[in-house]
Structure 1
Amino acid sequence: MPSLTVDTPTGTFVLTEEDGAIIRATWGLGGSDHTPLLERAAAQVRAYFRGELEQFELPLKVRGSALQRAVCDAIAAIPYGYTRTYGEIARDLGSSAQAVGQCCGGNPIPVIIPCHRVMGARGLTGFSGEGGVETKVALLRLEGAAGLLI
C-alpha cells in the first residue's frame, strides 16, 4: 500500500492509502510514495498544523466493526476547536462510554479523524497517538481549545 511520511510538530506522521482512500495515519516512519491522494493529504496535514485548515476534505475508509465506523463518523463531526465527551457520543450511538473510548483508541486515522477532541466526563484523558496526552494537548491548543483542558 502506498504511504507518505510528513514531518509535523508532533513528530513524523505517515499517511497510507488504499483503493483511493486514506486508510491509516500514524506516527512513525513510512514510505515516500507520491500519489495524488497522498500529496493532497500531506498538504492538508501541513496546512492543519500551520493553523490554516479546520476541516479535512479527503476520502477516508475506516475498517472495523459497525460501532468503530460509527464512532469515527461521530468524532469526524466534532468541529475544530470543540470537544465532546465519550459519554455524549455513547448516548448518541446507544453505546457505552467505555466502548466509545475503545473505539477512539482504535481510530486508524488520528488527527484527520480528530479523536483528540474527545474528553472524559471530568476532562482530559489519554491519547493513543505518539506522545500520548502531551500530543493531545498540543493538538487542542493548536485548535484554540486549551481552555477546555481543565
Structure 2
Amino acid sequence: MHRRKIGKTHETTGFLWSAFDFDIDLHAASPLERAPAARHIVPMYARDIARIATPVGIIAVEGDASAIHAIRIEASGSAIIGSAEPVLRAIAQLEQWFAGDRVTFDLPLASAATPRGQALRDAMVAIGYGETCSYGALAHSAISSARAIGQACARNPFPIVVPCHRVLNADGRLGAYSAGQGSITKRWLLDHEQRYAAGRAITAPLQRDLFSR
C-alpha cells in the first residue's frame, strides 16, 4: 500500500482554512476507502466587522488587517466595536462624515475585480463633496457607457465612501440607489452633503433617524 501527504486550501465563510496531513491509500478500491484518515484545520486569517448607528440606519464595515472589503447600510443590528485597524479607521471617518467634519475618505479599500471596474469606481470618487453628476456625463469622462456606470453604482461595495449617491439621472431625478432604503437614503445623503457644503449646520430635525419617520 502506497500512501502520501497532500495539501488542500479551501474557503469557508469569513475564514481561509488550510487543510493538510491527508493520509490517503492511492490504490484503495473505492472513494470511501480513499477518505482522509486525519485532518487538521488551521485558520490563516479572519474578517473583522464593526457596526455603528447613523441617521440612515446601521452601517456595517467589514475588513481585515489589510483592507476594507465591504460597507453596508442595514435596517437593524447591534453596535459592534471591531478590532482591525482599517475597520476602526473607517468607522472613525464615517462618524466624522456624518458630523460634517469630513468631505473625503482615506481608506484602504479592497481593489475592484477588474481594472475597468476600478476605473469606474475612481470616477465616482472624483465627484466632489456636495456635487452631483449624471450617469451620462460620468460615462463620458470615464470613457464608458451610462449603462456601465449604472451597473457599477448598483454593485458598489462601499456606499458613502465611494459616493455613488452623487450620480443622478440626466434630468436631475435621483435614479436608483441599492443601499439602505434606496432613494430615501440617497436623498438624505445628498441633502446632508449639500447643506454642509453650503456652510450651513444641519438642524436637529434633519438628523432624525430615517426609520423613525
Superposition TM-score, scaled by structure 1 size: 0.89
Name 1:11's counterpart in structure 2. Answer: 57
Aligned with residue 141 of structure 1, among 188, 191, 195: 191
- Deviations along 1:69-121, whole A, 9 cap, x unmatched? 11110111111000111111111222210111011110110101111011111
Whichever structure has more strand as a proportion of its residues is 2
Gaps of 5+ in 1: 146-150
Q: Is 1:49–2:91 an aligned residue pair?
A: no
With normalisation by structure 2, the TM-score equals 0.64
In structure 2, C-alpha distance between the alignment counterparts of 1:62 and 1:120, rounded to whole Å: 27
Post-superposition CA distance 1:52-78 (Å, at most 9, x none) = 111111111233333321111011111
Runs of 4 or more consecutive aligned structure 1 residues displaced over 3 Å after TM superposition = 29-32
Gaps of 5+ in 2: 1-46, 196-213
> How much does 1:32 deviate?
4.4
Match of 2:125 among 55, 58, 76: 76
Which residue of structure 1 aligns with residue 181 of structure 2? 131
Name the one with the larger helix percent: 1
Q: Deviation of residue 36 (structure 1)?
A: 2.1
Task: Give the structure 1 partner of residue 150 of structure 2.
Answer: 101
Aligned residue for 1:15, secondary structure, equals: strand
Distance 2:107 2:98 in 1: 16
* 2-structure distance, mates of 1:112, 1:97: 21
Any conservation in 2 of the 1:4–1:15 contact (CA below 8 Å)? yes
Size of the aligned set, in residue pairs, is 145
C-alpha RMSD of the superposition? 1.6
Q: Which residue of 2 aligns with 1:148?
A: none
**Cα distance in 2, alignment partners of residues 118 and 4 from structure 1:** 27
Match of 1:122 in 2: 171
Distance of 1:89 and 1:61 partners within structure 2 = 22
2:63 alignment partner, SS class: strand
